[in-house]
Structure 1
């Protein structure tokens, strides 16, 4: 496994219950702000195998990227079970629920 992939996995594992992170935000934390699609690939490839909390990763617009009937409902239900609220048009309030790692403020 490549170091960038390992970093993405560790960051996703670090997202706490009741918080979300964006694909681009995870890519930036891992060292390449332009690698949001790589985050998608890592989730697709390693999500189950590594038991990643995939449902905590959302779009930069604060929405679930999966389509209805293709995982949207499951992700919504998992987020809501953790207290993450989806507001108007299925949008999550990033000011309230976006995770920022403690080490960013060091």
Structure 2
């Protein structure tokens, strides 16, 4: 049996997807950004494809950036994903799109502060 070592990115993606709350969705790009690789959307897709069952990922909560399910509308996977999201209270419009302003998970990557810039409202040096 071959043991595959997960990359740091894969581990972060899995951890992040497991945190998406019921009734909320995240985009592939959002997950990639939270995992530290803003350009890693395709990697997120591959991890979902290859690891959803093994890690019991709520794969149905990850959508494309337009708020649509990525599977073909006629596929069994599309129907299953839509059904799971509907069960959690997520509503799609007639075009198969959901309102990301309403349903998107609000989690965003932490902003790194540029150390060269002064802090606003910092206490003055009183030496």
TM-score by length of 1: 0.93
User: How far does residue 19 in structure 1 lie from its aligned partner after superposition?
Assistant: 0.1
CA deviation vs aligned residue, 1:80-101 (integer Å, no higher than 9, x gap): 0000010130101000000022
Query: What value does the CA root-mean-square deviation take over the aligned residues?
Result: 1.6
1:31 equivalent in alignment to 2:23 = no
Give the drift of 1:102: 7.9
Which of 4, 7, 20 pairs up with 2:9?
4
Residue 102 (structure 2) aligned to one of 88, 92, 96: 96
Q: Return the TM-score normalized by structure 2.
A: 0.78
Which of 89, 93, 99 aligns to 1:87? It is 93
**In the alignment, structure 1 residue 51 sits paired with structure 2 residue 56:** yes
Count of residues in correspondence between the two structures = 105
Answer 1 or 2: which has greater helix percent: 1
**SS at 2:57 equivalent:** coil
Which of structures 1 and 2 has the bigger CA Rg?
2
Structure 1 residue ranges (4+ consecutive) displaced by more than 4 angstroms after TM superposition: 102-105
Counterparts in 2 of 1:37 and 1:17: CA distance versus 1, 3 Å: same
